[in-house]
Structure 1
Amino acid sequence: MIAINKGGILLVIDDSSYRSLSYNSRIRFLVVHYTAINFVEAVAALTTNVSAHYLLPCLEDSSYPFPDLRTFKLVDESQRAWHAGISAWEDRVNINDQSIGIEIVYQPEERANSADLDFPDYPTDQIKQLILLCKDILQRHPDITPTRVVGHSDIAPDRKADPGPKFPWQHLYLEGVGAWYNPETVEYYQQQFRKTLPSVMEVQQKLKAYGYPIKLTGVEDEQMRQVVNAFQMHFNPESYYGQLDIKTVAVLYALVDRYF
């Protein structure tokens, strides 16, 4: 029972006698990012112009001022953090409104004389912390199903590459976080696609069915290359250059079979 006296008028709110069963959580997605900058720079950025719910540092980062690995909560989960930007997944847009964002301190390195990046491995202790944090979040937000644990590149493939091809999605899956494919199903589809791949339109439909924001053009256009690139970084990181190959398509079909 809550009683509020405003100017001699008493507002009584009874919050215990009746409770509706018709509701669910506003949180549907868990989005993983990397900072691309060090801890000190990330704190400055994430406490001013942009934000995330959690910041996970790296002990190997010389700017990190603490002796132990800590997870920093920057925004309460009930509040909207500004981490996803223009984004979409499944039938939803504005993913900030419906998600929890985790920023991981991780810095890809620029290659000499190239626009490409080198992606180092994520530190083991950092990933262990991340898994504990994700499990805690998933326990409290059951609407975050396995296919709703995504990377920034998944929900914004035209703009983002994080958390990158070295992010250990399969390891997270084995620990109970996120989605992964059944290898036997992939092998089945690889055999089916040895002679010819499905049509571009059919592949686009499968990508859309899984959740990716893609227009069904039936053409291998730039937006499809970007989406395929994001999919490969997540599920086929041995080949993440945006070109369809047998394994990529087989993994996609296996994932749709398993989860949809």
Structure 2
Amino acid sequence: MYPIDATSYRSVKGFNSRVRFLIMHYTAVDFAGSVRALSSDAAFSAWAGRNNLNDTSIGIENVNLASVKNGKLIFPPYHPVQIAAIIQLAQDILQRYPDITPTQIIGHSDVAPGRKFDPGAAFPWQTLFATGIGAWFDEATKQYYLDEFAGQGLPDQAAIIGKLKAYGYNTSGATDASVYKNLIQAFPTAFPPRRLSGHSG
């Protein structure tokens, strides 16, 4: 149901062997040409100070029947078999390209905030992290900041923008309210608010 393709991404025209990023996408339909259909999409993206990631990134396309409900994009849970296939493929890619760091394994929504929303909050980043893929927070650090914010309040907008930039987000124009909103909405898809606040789900 979820075939693992460890070769097609290397045959895409213009592909650069000096890969620096691994980007998670999604589609509502699983079809043979989907890898190539996504290859040009990263041309309108940015991460970690680099623009147009098309020639230095590999996209893993995930199948998810997302829908819009009450004006919100809803992602149902990803099938465990698909996640297992994603993990196997990502581990293969990381073995071939060991220079890809944990914070360079990201979602489509991270490299194009406000324009792309996948793979969505249902994507199990913590599960991938447990297998050595991507980034996740540790509980001690989370609690430290929860206590600090409870006592001192949240950082101001400039400080938050600085942290987002340090993590890898493109913060150009982030002083604009709509751009800032897109960034703030993109970050929690990798670190869902309920998990950050200590709640499950």
The one of 64, 87, 90 equivalent to 1:106 is 64
> Where does the alignment leave 5 or more consecutive residues of structure 2 unmatched?
1-15
1:38 aligns with 2:29: yes
Matched residue SS, 2:58: strand
Using the TM superposition, give the Cα deviation of residue 115 of structure 1 relative to its aligned residue in structure 2, in angstroms.
Answer: 1.9
1:51 to 22, 29, 37: 37
Report the alpha carbon displacement of residue 83 of structure 1 after superposing the two structures with TM.
Answer: 3.5
Once the 2 structures are TM-superposed, how far is the Cα of residue 183 of structure 1 from its aligned partner? 1.1
Question: Which aligned pairs between 1:95-244 and structure 2 lie closer than 5 A?
Answer: 95-111=53-69, 114-194=70-150, 195-215=152-172, 217=174, 219=175, 221-238=177-194
Indicate yes or no: 2:52 matched with 1:94. yes
CA-based RMSD of the aligned residues comes to 2.2
Equivalent position amino acid for 1:110 in 2: V
Shift of 1:220: 7.0
| Aligned residue in 1 for 2:18 | 26
State the distance in 1 between where 2:135 and 2:25 align: 17
Secondary structure of the residue that 1:235 maps to in structure 2? coil
The whole-number CA distance in structure 1 between the counterparts of 2:160 and 2:49 is 18
> Partner letter of residue 89 of structure 1?
W
Distance in 2 separating the partners of 1:169 and 1:232? 11
TM-score computed with the length of structure 1 as normaliser: 0.65
Please give the secondary structure, in 2, of the residue aligned with 1:226: helix
Percent of matched pairs sharing the same residue: 44
How many residue pairs match? The answer is 181
- Larger Rg: 1 or 2? 1
Listed as ranges, the gaps of 5+ residues in structure 1 are 1-23, 53-80, 240-245, 248-260
Q: Secondary structure at the match of 1:51?
A: helix
Which structure is higher in helix share? 2
| Separation in structure 2 between the aligned mates of residue 94 and residue 215 of structure 1, nearest angstrom | 14
Equivalent AA in structure 2 for residue 101 of structure 1: G
Aligned-pair distance for 1:110?
A: 2.7
Q: Distance in 2 between matches of 1:210 and 1:204?
A: 10
Identify which of structures 1 and 2 has the higher relative contact order when contacts are C-alpha pairs closer than 8 Å and 6+ apart.
2
Normalising by structure 2, report the TM-score: 0.83
